């Protein structure tokens, strides 16, 4: 049982990283971005290319996948989202467009890398017991948790300690007031994509370090990511972190008692149970603070 | 009043023939007004007349169809809101005029986003003018009372040391003693040299302290004149101040139903 909790924490950390990025984008742009999962896949494949073709150690691909994810997000904003915002597109139109972006991105990845399941070239590490507990963790498992914690701490410091983070929270709180307070909204949006896309890209690498993957990984990750965001409270990245850990642990622990294929459903059952008690999510107030 | 006729003073803000609205709905149908430098001008008018829309149009939040808005002689049309406040005019919206999830200090820093230097000096000046904000500086703005929130909204807008402050119904929904404080602050801000353009439901109080007043109705100019003279005008009194002597106005000055004392200000 404890072993499942441990596996859940590892998966939950990855969910937390990816979900907090999606939640940040929602908080500031009010965009429900279905392409986020495929941005996660993109990060994993950038790392795969660097790892297999250039022989780079997977750990070194992590910051590079962050940068690649950020660049992709900024490029997509310039190509798709900024023109839609300028024309005053509604949230539903933007959401549907994001499904189109998701499909385009996935097909591009299939075209470039094929649809076969693949994995990073990294040394297999032995699982060692955690003290006297009946829990086996490899060094990579620990490193995934630490990397996720570092990413989340970075996000927290950005939001609370920097001027751009303060402007992000202000924009999420009250966009019109942020405009007339002199906030350079275009700049804040660009940083939002850098952080959100970067976290997606890095999250993809972390996921690939824990298991084999294919070009559909982002699409399947998107379900628990959305569950995590909703559990935590839409538009609150801290809620997304909490929700990610909760959904991750719940899904893995369920494997102890239920057939594996019910895993995803368990995430949604947890989501519904939480919503029955906290209709706006655990930390829900539609805001970044 | 030894002051010269306000209309004779150099204008800081000039709006002429302004048409603006939302989507295909035209709300303002040719509005003109002038705010002389350093003076207080009030706009009154019934609910839905377009007063808030006019304020939003000045700050680039509503698309202007035709007409002109000039600040210190230069057009504001086509500028981004951040470029407009950079010119030296700031805005306190009627509702949602603070960032509720940011602390008081963070709200003030946000107001000073465009300051290159002297942020600390402006913060000190704001705390001096609004001591309550110093006491509450680490509290989230959402937890402030209505009056405190209005003070914060004004301080946030004053961080950039504007030469014109636009206040949209600063006394709405506040308890009478808090209304007094707000008007006292408006006078204080004006004494420091900042011109004021104020939209007010509390028309008697506002016009009495105004150099000039405008009545806006159905998106058009109805009447204008020196504040006290407008107040004494029987037509204004019957049409816009409530014909029953001050009875209706009196009831308007108390908090609106559901506003729940001073916590209702939004
Ligand atoms: N965001 C909006 N979209 C569409 N119509 C609006 C919007 N805001 C206000 N209106 C309409 O514009 C008119 C003028 O509103 P407003 O400027 O707020 O009036 P006032 O401040 O004088 O009470 C009203 O009929 C109102 O319903
Ligand atoms: Mg109004």
User: What mean pLDDT is predicted for residues B143-152?
Assistant: 96
What spatial distance separates the first Cα and last Cα of chain A, rounded to whole Å?
Answer: 35
Residue B25 Cβ contacting ligand 1 at under 6 Å: yes
User: What mean pLDDT is predicted for residues B221-243?
Assistant: 82
Asked whether residue A285 is assigned to any structural domain, the reply reads no
Position B243 pLDDT exceeds 50 = no
| Cβ contacts from A onto B, under 8 A | 74
Asked whether residue A167 is assigned to any structural domain, the reply reads yes
pLDDT for the residue B130: 96
CATH number at residue A79: 1.10.3470
Domain count, chain A: 1
Chain B residues close to A181, C-beta within 8 Å: 85, 110-111, 113, 156
Contacts of A31 (CB under 8 A, 6+ apart): A25, A81, A91, A94, A95, A98
CA distances from A110 to A24, A39, A72, A106, B208 (A): 28, 13, 17, 6, 73
Contacts of A87 (CB under 8 A, 6+ apart): none
Asked whether residue A289 is assigned to any structural domain, the reply reads no
For residue B29, the cross-strand partners are B19
Average pLDDT, chain B: 88
Asked whether residue A76 is assigned to any structural domain, the reply reads yes
Q: What range defines the domain where residue A134 resides? A: 2-277
Chain B residues close to A174, C-beta within 8 Å: 96, 98-100
Mutation site, B61, B79, B94, B101, interface A, largest A CB count within 10 A: B101
Q: Is the pTM of this model over 0.90?
A: no
Bridge-based pairing of strands B11-22 and B89-92 is: unpaired
What three-state secondary structure class fits B71?
Answer: strand
Q: pLDDT per position in chain A (289 positions), as tens?
A: 788 999 999 999 999 999 999 999 999 999 999 999 999 999 999 999 999 999 999 999 999 999 999 999 999 999 999 999 999 899 999 999 999 999 999 999 999 999 999 999 888 888 878 777 888 888 888 999 999 999 999 999 999 999 999 999 999 999 999 999 999 999 999 999 999 999 999 999 999 999 999 999 998 899 999 999 999 988 888 999 999 999 999 999 998 888 888 888 888 899 899 889 888 888 876 555 5
Asked whether residue A286 is assigned to any structural domain, the reply reads no
pLDDT for the residue A116: 94
Mutation site, A179, A182, A236, A287, interface B, largest B CB count within 10 A: A182
Whole-angstrom distance, CA of residue A246 vs CA of residue A259: 19
Closest CA to B40 of B266, B209, B248: B209
Position B244 pLDDT exceeds 50 = no
Q: How far is A103 from chain B (nearest CA, A)?
A: 33
Asked whether residue A288 is assigned to any structural domain, the reply reads no
For residue B11, the cross-strand partners are B36
pLDDT for the residue A135: 81
Q: Token pair 């927290």 is at which residue?
A: A156
Whole-angstrom distance, CA of residue A240 vs CA of residue B131: 38
CA distances from A48 to A37, A55, A149, A198 (A): 17, 9, 23, 16
Whole-angstrom distance, CA of residue A61 vs CA of residue A58: 5
Contacts of A174 (CB under 8 A, 6+ apart): B96, B98, B99, B100
Whole-angstrom distance, CA of residue B77 vs CA of residue A235: 33
Position B250 pLDDT exceeds 60 = no
Closest CA to B18 of B59, B62, B71, B69: B69
Instruction: Please give the structure tokens belonging to residue A80.
Output: 């798709």
Contacts of A56 (CB under 8 A, 6+ apart): A50, A64
* Residue to substitute in B25, B42, B48 for testing ligand 1 pocket (most ligand atoms within 8 angstroms of CB): B48
Residue B190 Cβ contacting ligand 1 at under 6 Å: no
Asked whether residue A284 is assigned to any structural domain, the reply reads no
Q: What is the pLDDT of residues B5-62, one digit of tens each?
A: 555 679 999 999 999 999 889 999 999 999 999 999 999 999 999 999 999 999 999 9
Instruction: Please give the structure tokens belonging to residue B249.
Output: 């106005």
Asked whether residue A190 is assigned to any structural domain, the reply reads yes
Position B261 pLDDT exceeds 80 = no
Whole-angstrom distance, CA of residue B150 vs CA of residue B49: 23
CA contacts within 13 A on the Cβ side of A166? 18
């Amino acid at each position: 049982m404890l072993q499942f909790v441990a596996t859940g924490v590892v998966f939950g950390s990855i969910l937390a990283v990816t979900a907090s990025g999606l939640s940040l984008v929602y908080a500031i742009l009010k965009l429900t971005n279905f392409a986020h999962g495929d941005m996660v896949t993109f990060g994993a494949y950038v790392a795969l290319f660097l790892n297999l073709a250039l022989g780079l150690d997977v750990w070194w691909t992590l910051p590079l996948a962050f940068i690649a994810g950020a660049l992709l997000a900024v490029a997509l904003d310039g190509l798709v989202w900024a023109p839609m915002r300028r024309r005053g597109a509604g949230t539903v139109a933007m959401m549907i467009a994001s499904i189109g972006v998701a499909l385009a991105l996935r097909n591009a990845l299939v075209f470039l890398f094929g649809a076969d399941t693949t994995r990073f070239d990294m040394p297999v590490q032995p699982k060692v017991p955690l003290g006297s507990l009946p829990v086996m963790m490899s060094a990579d498992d620990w490193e995934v948790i630490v990397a996720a914690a570092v990413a989340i701490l970075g996000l927290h410091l950005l939001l609370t300690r920097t001027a751009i983070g303060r402007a992000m929270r202000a924009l999420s709180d009250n966009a019109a007031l942020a405009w007339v307070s002199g906030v350079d909204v275009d700049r804040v949006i660009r940083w939002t994509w850098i952080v959100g896309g970067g976290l997606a890209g890095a999250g993809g690498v972390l996921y690939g370090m824990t298991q084999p993957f294919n070009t559909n990984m982002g699409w399947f990750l998107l379900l628990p990511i959305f569950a995590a965001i909703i559990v935590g409270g839409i538009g609150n990245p801290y809620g997304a972190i909490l929700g990610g850990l909760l959904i991750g642990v719940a899904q893995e622990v369920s494997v102890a008692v239920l057939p594996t294929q019910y895993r995803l459903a368990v995430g949604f059952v947890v989501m519904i149970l939480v919503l029955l008690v906290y209709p706006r999510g655990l930390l829900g107030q539609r805001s970044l603070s | 009043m030894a002051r010269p006729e306000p209309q004779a003073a150099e204008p800081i803000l000039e709006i002429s023939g302004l048409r603006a609205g939302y989507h295909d709905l035209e709300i303002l149908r040719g509005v003109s007004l002038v705010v002389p430098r350093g003076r207080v001008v009030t706009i009154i008018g019934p609910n839905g007349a377009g007063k808030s829309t006019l304020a939003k149009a000045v700050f680039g939040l509503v698309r202007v169809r035709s007409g002109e808005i000039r600040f210190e002689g230069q057009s504001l049309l086509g500028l981004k809101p951040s470029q407009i406040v950079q010119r030296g005019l700031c805005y306190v919206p009627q509702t949602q005029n603070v960032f509720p999830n940011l602390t008081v200090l963070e709200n003030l820093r946000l107001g000073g986003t465009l300051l290159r230097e002297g942020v600390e000096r402006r913060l000190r000046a704001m705390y001096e003018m609004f001591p309550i904000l110093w006491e509450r500086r680490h509290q989230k703005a959402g937890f402030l009372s209505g009056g405190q929130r209005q003070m914060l909204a004004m301080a946030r807008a004053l961080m950039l040391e504007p030469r014109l402050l636009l206040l949209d119904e600063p006394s709405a929904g506040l308890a009478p003693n808090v209304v007094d404080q707000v008007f006292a602050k408006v006078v204080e801000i004006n004494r420091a040299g900042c011109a004021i353009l104020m939209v007010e439901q509390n028309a008697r109080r506002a016009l009495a302290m105004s150099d000039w007043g405008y009545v806006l109705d159905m998106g058009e100019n109805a009447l204008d004149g020196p504040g006290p003279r407008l107040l004494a005008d029987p037509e204004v009194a019957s049409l816009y101040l409530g014909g029953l002597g001050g009875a209706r106005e009196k009831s308007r000055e108390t908090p609106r139903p559901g506003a729940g004392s001073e916590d209702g200000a939004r």
